[in-house]
Structure 1
């Protein structure tokens, strides 16, 4: 079978668009771009070393994902920070993650327990290196994903992942709160104990508290 040059070009463009999507998404969540900032296409092309077509594809996908706003004939802007939006995101997180946690604890097996303990260990190691922010962020994300992984619903996990990304944009722009951070860190280990013991109601209550505490921190990004 002969693969046409146009098919190869299309595959390369799609790969470039996916890479640009992931790189820009990561920087949007990290707060590299200011809320309300208009993104300059020429600057993005140079910064991310990507062509115009795959770049526009990536920006369109980020707009559909909710991390950018697209304005007709005026390009793309970073969404503003909104106390109301943050509240909506946090409340949805509580509802969906508690649902996923219940299903995960009902369906999780010994392999999941092993993976959860490993994710906890990596997070504890990252907690001991406060200067390594990105290492902690990755370990934290992996922990929460592992906690909910066996829930059995790819769509539920997809929605939760999107909400996490939106929430983290606020959290990472907020001023540090060491006292609350210490509580959150301790709750990770408590969640593991409850998950292993299949204490579903206790775990749901703690996860709700966990998200509410993190929400309290994230509100600092909106000046509340």
Structure 2
């Protein structure tokens, strides 16, 4: 790979990650068509690496490619959200089972650290992005030793799709408190390797968050 190709690949990856975060956090409206010139300026990236990033995001499902007419943000649909939540529950419970079976002492230490950072973020609810990052890291740590790269890849993609809906919904502090408590309970069940209780709680955790996310699909919310 030449220097220019390497630079383009790096720029494309950086644009992909930055755009991905902005799409998930709701910077762009559902159904919005993206202006290439505006994106080039905002993300300080050339046309070639930008188009590569946009194509990757379309393949990932966070953008829709319009036939030779650019890209737009997908619309939100309750049926799609329901499908995402159902698949999340199935795949994450599968990954949790394998993680509890294969996790070792090092995993326990990493999970404890991830939960500690999440608890610290819970204490500063105004720092939304810090909490989101800690929350993602906790869920990744919980499932990390499952042993299947593909399973974790699918889980990550579904989690990102789900979070796009969740972050478009109005905040629900009461449910947030319940979810925060459940994170601690999931950690304890991981340490005790209680698979049945862990699967049940994780399913409830996803369903509860699903109820919050559904508000983004309702009018006047």
Q: Are 2:101 and 1:126 aligned?
A: no
2:132 is matched with 137
TM-score by length of 1: 0.97
Residue 178 of structure 2 is matched in structure 1 by 183
The residue matched to 2:2 in structure 1 has which SS? helix
Considering only CA atoms, is the larger Rg found in Structure 1 or Structure 2?
1
Q: CA deviation at 1:178?
A: 1.2
2:68 aligned with 1:73? yes
In angstroms, what is the RMSD of aligned CA positions? 0.8
- 1:117-147 deviation digits (Å, cap 9, x = unpaired): 1111000000000110000000000000000
Runs of 4+ that moved beyond 2 A: none
Aligned length: 219
Q: Give the corresponding residue for 1:50.
A: 45
Query: In the TM superposition, what is the alpha-carbon distance from 1:109 to its structure 2 partner?
Result: 0.2
1:200 pairs with one of 189, 195, 202: 195
Do residues 96 (structure 1) and 91 (structure 2) align? yes
- Is 1:37 the counterpart of 2:32? The answer is yes
Query: Tell me, what secondary structure is at the counterpart of 1:46?
Result: helix
In 2, the alpha carbon distance for the partners of 1:59 and 1:53 equals 10
* Structure 1 unaligned spans of 5+: 1-5
Question: How far does the alpha carbon of each residue in 1:18-37 deviate from its partner, in whole angstroms, 9 at most, with x for none?
Answer: 00000000000000000000
Kindly indicate whether residue 112 of structure 2 is the aligned counterpart of residue 114 of structure 1. Answer: no
Indicate whether 1:13 and 2:8 are aligned.
yes
From 169, 175, 183, give the equivalent of 2:164.
169
- C-alpha separation between the residues in 2 aligned to 1:81 and 1:215? 14
* Structure 2 unpaired stretches of 5+: none
Report the secondary structure of 2:129's partner residue: helix
Deviation at 1:74, TM superposition (A): 1.3
Residues 49-74 of structure 1 show CA distances to partners (whole Å, capped at 9, x for unaligned) of 00000000000000000000001121
2-structure distance, mates of 1:76, 1:210:
33
- TM normalised by structure 2 equals 0.98
Question: Could you tell me which residue of structure 2 aligns to residue 214 of structure 1?
Answer: 209
